[in-house]
Amino acid sequence: GAVVSQHPSWVICKSGTSVKIECRSLDFQATTMFWYRQFPKQSLMLMATSNEGSKATYEQGVEKDKFLINHASLTLSTLTVTSAHPEDSSFYICSARTSGAYNEQFFGPGTRLTVL
């Protein structure tokens, strides 16, 4: 089956530093990758949609200069949280899908970010 990995699985950083999270599709080519954020006991909220070779599309209210997304290849997308603050602490989840109208999204295992 399609596998999506994320690295790291958890990270602790100091306030003001930047953190990069990688999302990889291991056995398929992902034309589109999605980044979600999930706070404790809440649902997944879509942050941005990333298409290979083009700029990411951000959801309303998500700062593109703070959450930098790069989708340089069909198997890798990265999310960089710049100048992280404690309120950015959350569970970040990526998903990947191939082209097609109803293709399933395959989710990564998530990355737990804690900003001190």
Partner 1 sequence: GESVGLHLPTLSVQEGDNSIINCAYSNSASDYFIWYKQESGKGPQFIIDIRSNMDKRQGQRVTVLLNKTVKHLSLQIAATQPGDSAVYFCAESGTSYGKLTFGQGTILTVHP
Per CB under 8 A, residues contacting partner 1 are 4, 6, 32, 34, 42-46, 49, 91, 93, 95, 97, 100-110, 112
Q: Which of 71, 69, 45 lies closest to 59, judged by CA?
A: 45
Strands of 1-116, DSSP E: 4-7, 10-13, 19-25, 32-38, 45-51, 57-58, 67-73, 76-81, 90-97, 106-107, 111-115
Whole-number minimum distance, CB 78 to partner 1, in Å? 17
Whole-number minimum distance, CB 16 to partner 1, in Å? 27
**Distance separating alpha carbons of residues 66 and 23, to the nearest angstrom:** 18
Q: Which of 50, 58, 43 lies closest to 24, judged by CA?
A: 50
Whole-number minimum distance, CB 110 to partner 1, in Å? 5
**Residue closer to partner 1, measured from CB, 62 or 82:** 62
Gyration radius (Cα) of the chain, Å? 13
**Residue closer to partner 1, measured from CB, 43 or 54:** 43
Whole-number minimum distance, CB 43 to partner 1, in Å? 5
**Residue closer to partner 1, measured from CB, 82 or 112:** 112
**DSSP label at 100?**
S
**Residue closer to partner 1, measured from CB, 86 or 100:** 100
